[in-house]
Structure 1
Amino acid sequence: MTSPAAQAALTRTDSPATAAPSARMPRLDSLTGLRWWAAFAVFAHHMTNLAPLPIHHALAYGNYGVTFFFVLSGFVLTWSARPETPKSTFWWRRFARIYPSHFVALLLAIPVFYSFNPDPADWWVKPFDLGILLLSVVLLQGWSRDPTILFSGNPAAWTLTCEAFFYALHPALYRLFVGLRVRGALILTGAVFAAALAYRIAVILLPDSWLGDLPLPISRLSEFVIGIGIAHAMRMGWRVHIKPLYCYLVGGALLAAIVLAPRIATPGSAASFFLATSNEWIILLFAVTIAAVAWRDVSKRFSLLRSRPLVLLGEWSYAFYLVHATIIYGVLSITGAQPVGWSNLIWYGALLIVSIAAAAALHYLVERPLERRLRSWWDTRAARRAKAPVA
């Protein structure tokens, strides 16, 4: 769902502290490895519907993996940004990256999530509606808050509506940061976070207003912009002297607080406020974590996330995200939900292996070759157009 960092390393004349906005930046393989864990968290979230573990209440918060993807998407697109790249080329490359796999995964999902005569007991199966399905073909389903439309086609693909909107805005959003140094970029990023928190508080205080009905691509845009901001600050020389381990520990404590807070939350209490604004604190945690992990790669320090297996899984993570729910709910339609128990770890292991294998197939048979061909076609077309006036 996100693009990898730029492939070329810094030249000898550019250090992380002095790299210009147009400089090619180093690979951040640790972020690719970290992306796998976000995808796995979403997998664990969906598995609670098929084979819940005794800790399923905590695993249900794996949906925060989507928040991580949105922040990471803004970061990596900005980290690898080249101002001389035409906007049309940027948009085409984004289309080539996400759409072919999305379309194939959509075709695979339709038999699992649609029926002409759905059984009411199969709550995940919707009546076949070509008009609604077409919205998912063109990635417009995420603009609706109606669950039948929002989760139409491949239910996981509503996030691609948000990503398409973010991609469309990225050239303009990035220009807001161009020209800012480290302090200015961090101040603007902090202002975006404050605006997101203020929006959440407004939704809490005005539950019956239109604010809570904003389309997800708009209400989630702050996550993408925060990723842009921290990436630009790092390109301008922001050194992140925070160990990723501390971020992981804080993340574990934050998740524990989110899981336990409902037991003590009462209307108007601090615990209730914390729960209502938890998404924003998660955004802040993810932003700092991404910056800390990225700086570890920039400063060439050891990172387990750069291990080949994790990087490979991270490269497959977009395809994994697209197919895992189809596999889980396909099995659910056959076996039904399992009782809560640790024995369900067998289901986790089996479906994880199947989902990874399906993701690898989608990655190597569809994602990579079609992206390469689409980009090559566009580059050839652009080269011909560039030569036309000369001829």
Structure 2
Amino acid sequence: MTSSPETPRGARLPSLTGLRFAAALLVFAFHSTWQHTFIDGAAGDVLGSVFGHAGFYGVSFFFVLSGFVLTWSARPGDTAPRVWRRRFVKIYPNHLVTFVVAGALLLLTAQQLAPWPTLAGLFLVQSWVPDVVYPNTMNFVSWSLSCELLFYLCFPWLLRALNRVRARGLWLTAAAMVAVILVAPVVSTFAIGGTPLPFIADGSLSFEQIWFVYFFPPVRAAEFVLGMVAARLVIAGHRPPIPLLPALLVAVAGYAVNSSVPYLFGVAGLAALWLTPLVAAAAVTDLRATRSPFRGRTMVRLGEWSFAFYMVHGLVVTYLPLWLVQGRDLGAASRIGLLVLALALCLLLAYALFTWVESPAVRRFGSRRTTAAPPTAPVPVTVLEAKE
């Protein structure tokens, strides 16, 4: 990155908000095409191959973006409890509503509730347990919030430490996070055992191996810290070496790389290497007010709904096929129509959840109650905001 005078933090970055929806759409594409959820036959094989790593890519983007925007929008003199309150009211109301809906759907379809995994999911600690049942119980996409919860708890101290580091130290920190991302799959391959899962990759990997690189919060924290470091560099005036369009092309090429490397590398945080430059480039594009395809009104509005979209889409792509696809002899047109219906339903439910749950909670409980000088306007913050 090239250096220029320090950038005032707090400026709005609408391109990052628009990119949030693109990432959420990747996760939807993965879940709606995995194992022929909607489309079967040769077309299903093609879609499953194309989007086979889209969910992993989207979640990694959310983890990097979360670190970036939290650092970017950090308020001078803020306290840890204030940060935690804002993040809690951002994620937990949506989580609680979708958790209750997931429980109702399980009961409606005569499925049993596993007590301990259910409690773990309610309190967002399910990703700490190396048992396949835990992160897949209730609204399965909420596992990423379990990781985000750790990130949020550590953020005040991480930020305090990074604020004391000069540019050279920031680059060394970024290199250390990249090393963690690359070493984790190696550790998982050679140091972790378990019973292989026949339906994952080539059938040679255990859930414990996948859990360590994909679900385990301390390992995924490297992507969050990488996003924080990128924000600190941009704030300090170190611009990314490439503009937005080349950075987008790097991200697309990186997806091809992730789809071809060994499975544990592809599902781990390797995507952060290709996505962090995109996040930084999009932020600088907004600061310079240059052209951006992600800054349009529609993309920004969809980006505002992206967390709600993420939280509802897993339920839609699970239960809609269960009721309307499985056991039916449907033609290609009908299956495509149901896939479009699923996307439309996700958008409708996301709008409702954002409008009637997320926004009121943030307005009511997320504002800063202090007599101090008003802070700069915060950047819209994502979770996973993955699986993101």
Residue 138 (structure 2) aligns with? 153
| CA shift in 2, pair 1:217/1:114, >3 Å | farther
Show the 5 A alignment for 1:1-391: 17-19=5-7, 23-49=8-34, 50-52=37-39, 53=44, 54-63=46-55, 64-114=57-107, 117-118=110-111, 127-208=112-193, 214=212, 216-259=216-259, 261=260, 272=262, 275-278=263-266, 279-337=268-326, 344-376=335-367, 379=369
CA deviation map 1:180-214 (0-9, x unaligned) = 23332122111221132123222233343988764
- Cα distance, 1:342–1:258 mapped onto 2, change above 3 Å: farther
Structure 1 residues without counterparts, runs of 5 or longer: 1-14, 119-126, 262-270, 384-391
Residue type at the aligned position of 2:278:
T
CA distance in 2, matches of 1:139, 1:16: 41
For the 8 Å contact 1:30–1:311, the answer to whether it is kept is: yes
**Given that residues 143 and 216 in structure 1 are in contact (C-alpha distance below 8 angstroms), is that contact kept between their aligned partners in structure 2?**
yes
3-state DSSP of counterpart to 2:366: helix
Q: CA deviation at 1:24?
A: 3.9
C-alpha separation in 2, matches of 1:130 and 1:55: 36
Alpha-carbon distance between aligned partners in 2 of 1:51 and 1:186, rounded to the nearest angstrom: 44
* Deviation of 1:342 (Å): 7.4
Preserved CA contact (<8 Å) 2:31 2:317: yes
SS in structure 1 of the partner of residue 11 of structure 2: coil
Higher relative contact order (CA 8 A, sep 6+): 2
User: For the Cα contact (< 8 Å) 2:99–2:138, is it kept in 1?
Assistant: yes
Retained in 2: the 8 A contact 1:105–1:154?
yes
* Shift, 1:131, TM fit: 3.7
Shift of 1:90: 0.8
Contact 1:141 1:150 in 2 (8 A): yes
CA distance in 1, matches of 2:252, 2:137: 33
For structure 2, which runs of at least 5 residues remain unmatched after alignment? 195-207, 372-388
Aligned partner of 2:366: which letter?
R
Change (3 A) 1:151 1:17: farther
Q: Specify whether residues 117 and 166 from structure 1 end up closer, same or farther in structure 2 by C-alpha distance, changes over 3 A only.
A: same
TM-score normalised by structure 1 residue count: 0.81
Aligned length: 343
Contact 2:181–2:270 (CA under 8 A) maintained in structure 1: no
Task: Give the % identical residues.
Answer: 33
| CA displacement 1:145-186 (0-9 Å, x = unmatched) | 212111222111111111111000001111221122333212
Deviation at 1:72, TM superposition (A): 0.5
Instruction: Report the more deviating stretch, 246-255 or 109-118.
Output: 109-118
RMSD: 2.5
Structure-2-length-normalised TM-score: 0.81
Given the superposition, is the C-alpha separation of residues 234 and 258 from structure 1 closer, same or farther in structure 2, using an over 3 Å criterion?
closer
Q: Judge conservation of contact 1:116–1:128 (CA < 8 Å) in 2.
A: no
Paired with 1:107 and 1:41, the residues of 2 have a C-alpha distance of 25
